[in-house]
Amino acid sequence: MRLARKFTLALVLLAVAVIAGLQVIQVRRELERSALDMQHDHRLLGHALAGTISKAWELAGEREALNLLHQSNNFQEQVHLRWVWLDGGPGTPSLVGFPPRLLATLRQGKDGSMVDPEPAPGLLHSYTPVFIGLGVGRRFGAIEITESLGEERQHVFVTVVGTIVATGTITFAFFIVAMAMGRRLVGEPVDQLVQLAHSFGQGDLTARVRLPPKRRGDELTTLANAMNRMGEQLEETRSRLSTETTARLAAVEHLRHADRLTTVGKLASGVAHELGTPLNVVMGRSKMISSGEAEGEEVAECARIITQQTQHMTGIIRQLLDFARRRAPHRAPEEVRELVARSLSLLKPMASKKSITLVEDVPPDVMLEADGGQVQQVLTNLVMNALQAMSKPGTVSVRAALIRATPPQDVGGAEGSYVRVDVEDEGPGIAPDVLGHVFEPFFTTKDVGEGTGLGLSVSYGLVRDHGGWIAVRSELGRGSCFSIYLPSGGDTCQAAS
């Protein structure tokens, strides 16, 4: 039930309770007044007849006095008059059912009355005491005035019905007025505030609520003004946050690109060595053609060899440029084996110079929905770190598998399907006090000028952007293993982003 209706219902119930209470009191007063009026009328009639009956009894005797009383009934339609002896003498009726307290009151010369419930709706008996005679022969009687309570009950019924109708009419009118006022004073402002909160929840921070100026100063207007100010502050905060987020994302992308270019610089010497052999072949064959040493079919063979070596060099340079080129993140299905092959092809010259063997163990048809360039950047950074960590000839292994895993506590999430890529080296390992800091920005154990300390930090950020994480285990003297966990399903990747 809405607030305005609850408020109105509470007011109506309170009003009904108050009105009903007042009407009950009024009905009781009316009934008491009616009963008092009836008793008062009986008392006046009784005293008027008592004097007349007493005088007639003295002058004309008992017969004439009682006859006068009987004749008085002809002039009374609502009451019935009767003489009763109450002293126990001749003609005295049975006083077994007569209330003793009433009898005592009458013997003191005071008026009294009682209600007889039979027959329905009941009778009111009023008694006016009369003492007949003097001395020893003095007797005690009373004029009994009897009147049906039917008219009083009818009056009560009419009064109660009128009270109920009046209460219902007042309640209905109050309900209508309260509903209108509750709707105007409470319902409409609350509806506007609810709509404003709903708009805020939907992301529309430009919404505002405007209450009439005449409402200034009440609580709802204060709340509306506070919510309007909150909307303005939220809008300013969102605008500022959007600007800061855009700047942060741009800075992160610049940082990642700078790390990629740093990696390209490290690869350059190896690529230059890789280009040396085909360049020598091209130079030698071109000299043979220009000097005329090659004749006939040898010229065509030299041209074919030159073309072949040129294409090989072009492929190496294009691969390096593709790795260095800045491009917007784009997720698409990628085969893990192809990503690993592209990364290792760039690093083979560097590995050859250090007499290190790159071993690839990736099963076919293991797929990811990811940004291939970013994943290749992560793999290149990890393999390059492995190569730099090894000062002696050895092996760097890259393995991949599809597994079920539960993310660590700092990542959060339920158990799911992940692709794990392990990069394992045979270097000296990482000290325990250093292991917990390897993913921190600008943290490095290399000499000045040999590293920026951003490679692992950038790699970790790229993997987290894909909804995954990087784990590391290492043992001094036995090498290190960095494990990349990436969600295997497209839905997981999209949810993480």
Q: Whose structure tokens read 């993140």?
A: 329
For residue 453, what pLDDT band results from cuts at 50, 70 and 90? low
Q: Could you tell me whether strands 356-361 and 394-405 are parallel, antiparallel, or unpaired per DSSP bridges?
A: parallel
Domains of the chain, first to last: 3-159 (3.30.450.20), 211-326 (1.10.287.130), 332-497 (3.30.565.10)
Mean pLDDT score across all residues of the chain: 79
Report how far apart the first and last C-alpha atoms of the chain are (Å, whole number).
41
Which residues touch 261 (CB under 8 Å, ≥6 apart)?
A: 324
Least confident among 75-79, 134-138, 146-150, 376-380: 134-138
Q: What is the mean pLDDT of residues 408-428?
A: 89
Cα separation, 129 vs 145, in Å, equals 11
Q: What is the mean pLDDT of residues 420-438?
A: 88
Taking 3-state DSSP, the helix, strand and coil percentages for the chain, each rounded to the nearest 5, stand at 60, 15, 25
For residue 91, what pLDDT band results from cuts at 50, 70 and 90? low
pLDDT tens-digit profile of 198-208?
888 888 878 88
What's the pLDDT at 483? 94
On the question of pLDDT at 400 being above 90, the answer is yes
Q: What is the mean pLDDT of residues 91-107?
A: 79
pLDDT tens-digit profile of 211-268?
776 566 677 788 888 888 888 888 888 888 888 887 877 777 677 666 666 666 666 6
What's the pLDDT at 448? 41
On the question of pLDDT at 398 being above 90, the answer is yes
At 159, list the tokens.
Answer: 């009064």
What's the pLDDT at 493? 39
pTM of the model: 0.46
Q: Which of 210, 235, 245 is nearest to 224 (CA)?
A: 210
At 442, list the tokens.
Answer: 């600008």
